Chain A
Amino acid sequence: EVQLLESGGDLVQPGGSLRLSCAASGFTFSSYGMTWVRQIPGKGLEWVSSINTSGGSTYYADSVKGRFTVSRDNSKNTLYLQMNSLTAEDTAVYYCAKGRGSGSSRREFDYWGQGTLVTVSS
């Protein structure tokens, strides 16, 4: 059974940093691209960042480019999101999601974690 378990969400002050983790199990982690999607409570879904299987290619939404860094450790089956210079606009539930396949299907998200809440406030 595929499982994705996020952790690391917390209350942080504006300008602060946080690192999210997503522990994966039930599939060959190193064979799939992975993605972070966020959702402001009560609002819609926003793609944040994606990473390819090896970690050699990363992609970011304009709203987080230069502040967030996605990475993965295939030996630990874990995805990460390092978030720096956080603002109130980054307050959201952050989900990690597995790409369904390769090519364009890597942007189809077939499994999602339960989410972790990041709150940026003084």
Chain B
Amino acid sequence: AQSVTQLDSQVPVFEEAPVELRCNYSSSVSVYLFWYVQYPNQGLQLLLKYLSGSTLVKGINGFEAEFNKSQTSFHLRKPSVHISDTAEYFCGSGAGSYQLTFGKGTKLSVIP
């Protein structure tokens, strides 16, 4: 069975500072990994995904994530955040059939 753990429920960060949102996964099979962003009262929008190949994945809005198989991690990073990045971020995994598993979310608050 898959599981996804987001280690921080809330992350405050000053504008233009770097940020890392942490995600660990566990699975006995090969997985697909992704990050989604949710703005208030909206659905989830895909930021980036890892299927295979290069372990550094670049997504929209300047975000990137690195797949680390030995540490079973898929942390999301951005070198300089903007006020508009304030949102909730979800890490998730898929197992190539129907299973989709998400973490509990991390609320990113960008402080002016």
Q: Do A and B bind each other?
A: no
Binding site for A on B (CB under 8 A): none
Binding site for B on A (CB under 8 A): none
